Chains A and B, each alone.
Chain A
Amino acid sequence: MYLETIGKFALMLKEVFKRPQKPKIFWENYFKEVDDLGIKSIGLVSFISFFIGGVVTIQTARNLNNPLIDKMYIGYATIKSIVLEFSPTFISIILAGIVGSYIASTIGTMRITEQIDALDVMGVNSLNYLVLPKVVAAVTFYPFLITISMFLGVFGGWVVGDLTGMVLSHDYLKGIRYTFDSFDIWYALIKTVVFAFFIATIPSYYGYYVKGGSLEVGRAATQAVIWTSVNIIIFNYILTQLLLS
């Protein structure tokens, strides 16, 4: 059964990655998807990132209360946690919930109301028309979104550390620059691109092949979020093993 699903998913991708029938319409849809899937998520991602950055700083400060340990390590631990794991992986899981359910339910509703049939009988490649702009929008825009998340997470840690007095600005800033490795950023962005691909394609698959009515569309949205999250977690491990070990 899983093999059948993977095969069907691969066949779907074959149709998705065809040359758009009308490039002008593709780019119009692309910018619409950038807005729907990316720009509309900036507020929530920023809010979460800022406060999680603050929480990471507080927790790290509480665990590094030994006077022999330099306080700059609080900043060092915060930036490592945010850049390597929180922003690329956990923000992607949050996006899988928000954007994944949106994609699966909109495409699923189009399926059960025969709008996809209408596209097909007009001679439109419905998979290419509906899914490709979403994939390209997610893969190109999410790296920006995750970069914003990284910045705000680290910034949140700085603000909270300073306001609570747990770590001085000077120590925090010294910590975030300590042994800074630009490959950490590349590692995070490579993961983001892979996760963005899952966030756009897996929910599209569940929405596109839904059968039944509104109840089934709801179930498809739930399944989409579950399987996108599972794939993100598994590939997080695989990519980490490949890139960092």
Chain B
Amino acid sequence: MIEVKNLYKSFNGKPVLKGISAVFETGKTNMIIGRSGSGKTVFLKTMLGLIKPDKGIISFDGRIWDQLSLDEQRQIRKEVGVVFQGNALFDSMTIEENIKFPMRMFTNLSPAEKKARVNEVLAQVNLEGVNDKYPAEISGGMQKRVALARAIVLYPKYLFCDEPNSGLDPKTAIIIDNLIHDLTIRYNTTTVINTHDMNSIMEIGEKIILLKDGHKQWEGDKSQIFFTDNPDLNDFVFSSSLFRKVKELVQKEGKF
């Protein structure tokens, strides 16, 4: 479980996060949603320790980040898997080398064990036979799977995904979403996903937090979205006519 209390961050005097508190539960796909510029990425990067907050507490299963030594923080980072928006694969390494990298840095597994684990995680993300290719030689959807495979290779306790569907077609996006959900259950991770993709929210949003202008505006799950009267949430979620229609149908039926 990741707990955030009263998180503040500003850049050059301009506040971006204004006292956000939230709990991200273990074994669930927790989603941070909001428009572009709402503070989602800053929030995620602050939780990852890439941005230092001005004020507030972030704790990983009771371990308060600010109170840990640098070595203890590095220890937590070894328990974290991250899928970046642009994948952040090491472009001078092959797919296999990319996935092996965390194992080479932090384990003493034999080459055969590493190879077996690479093939295992590639199979889990439904991607096989690409071991010797470079990231630039595979499609965006495949790169996303490789990024996921690298993120889970050390059995992470916490999985962060920043806009995992950006740049993907709707079909591939749904496949990636379901993969993340399956991996969350398989590894019992605390998964935090940053997105503004409505399909993702409806597909795997077990806990949803809406950010607007650096504030938390709403919290709930995907079934509650249709029955809330929060104007900010309705404005964000039901901005397309398709979703307004879906909302009408769901409200008529009384359940999602």
Contacts and interface: CB of A to CB of B under 8 A. Distances in A.
B106 A123 contact: yes
B27 to A, nearest CB: 21
A64 interface: no
Interface in B126-176: 160
Interface in B21-55: 45, 48-50
A22 B102 CA distance: 11
B88 interface: yes
A115 B77 CA distance: 15
B238 interface: no
Nearest to A109: B91
A25 B160 CA distance: 26
Interface in A114-130: 114-115, 117-118, 120-125
A21 interface: yes
Contacts of A121: 48-50, 77, 80, 82, 160
Interface in A182-211: none
B85 interface: yes
Interface residues of A, number: 14
B86 A122 contact: no
A65 interface: no
B77 to A, nearest CB: 3
A113 interface: yes
Contacts of A115: 88-91
B84 to A, nearest CB: 5
20 contacts: A22-B104, A22-B105, A113-B88, A113-B91, A114-B86, A115-B88, A115-B89, A115-B91, A117-B50, A118-B88, A118-B90, A120-B50, A121-B80, A122-B78, A123-B73, A123-B74, A123-B80, A123-B106, A124-B105, A125-B74
Interface of B: 45, 48-50, 73-78, 80, 82, 84-86, 88-91, 101-102, 104-106, 160
Given A117-B50, A120-B77, A122-B101, 18 more contacts: A22-B104, A22-B105, A113-B86, A113-B88, A114-B88, A115-B88, A115-B89, A118-B84, A120-B49, A121-B77, A121-B82, A122-B82, A122-B102, A123-B73, A123-B74, A123-B80, A123-B106, A124-B105
